[in-house]
Amino acid sequence: MKVLATDGLSQSGINKLKDAGFDVSVTKVAQEQLISFINEENINVLLVRSATKVRKDLIDACSSLKIIGRAGVGMDNIDVDYARKKGLKVINTPTASSNSVAELVFAHLFSGVRYLHDSNRNMPLSGDSMFKDLKKNYAGGTELRGKTLGIIGMGKIGHEVAKIALGIGMKVIASDDHVGETMITLNFYNDQVVTIPIKTEPVKDILKDSDFITLHVPAQKKPLIGKKEFEMMKPGAAIINTSRGGVVDEVALIDALESGKVRFAGLDVFEEEPTPAIRVLMEERISLSPHIGASTNEAQDRIGIELADQIISLSKEETA
The enclosing domain of 175 has a CATH number of 3.40.50.720
Residue tagged active-site, from 49, 244, 263, 302:
244
How far apart, in whole angstroms, are the C-alpha atoms of residue 41 and residue 43?
6
Both 245 and 128 in one domain: the answer is yes
Both 49 and 163 in one domain: the answer is no
Cβ atoms of 197 and 182 within 8 Å: the answer is: yes
Confidence (pTM): 0.91
Q: How many domains does the chain have?
A: 2
Both 68 and 114 in one domain: the answer is no
Both 85 and 134 in one domain: the answer is no
> Angle at the Cα of 131 (from 237 to 108), degrees rounded to 5?
30
Catalytic residue list contains 244: yes
Residues 6+ apart with CB under 8 A from 61: 35, 39
User: Using one digit for the tens of pLDDT, what is the confidence trace for 165-199?
Assistant: 999 999 999 999 999 999 999 999 999 999 999 99
Both 71 and 159 in one domain: the answer is no
Both 62 and 144 in one domain: the answer is no
Catalytic residue list contains 231: no
Instruction: Give the range of the structural domain holding residue 165, as residue numbers without chain letter.
Output: 98-288
Instruction: Provide the pairing of β-strand 89-92 with 193-199.
Output: unpaired
Catalytic residue list contains 103: no
Per-residue confidence (pLDDT) for residue 73, from 0 to 100: 87
Both 32 and 82 in one domain: the answer is yes
Both 61 and 200 in one domain: the answer is no
How far apart, in whole angstroms, are the C-alpha atoms of residue 195 and residue 128?
49
Cβ atoms of 181 and 198 within 8 Å: the answer is: yes
How far apart, in whole angstroms, are the C-alpha atoms of residue 161 and residue 223?
22
Residue tagged active-site, from 181, 231, 272, 318:
272
Bridge partners of residue 149, in order along the sequence: 172, 212
Both 29 and 107 in one domain: the answer is no
Both 105 and 244 in one domain: the answer is yes
User: Using one digit for the tens of pLDDT, what is the confidence trace for 233-262?
Assistant: 999 999 999 999 999 999 999 999 999 999
Distances (CA, A) of 140 to 112, 137, 202, 295: 12, 8, 32, 32
Both 58 and 178 in one domain: the answer is no
Both 207 and 156 in one domain: the answer is yes
Question: Is 237 strand, coil or helix?
Answer: strand
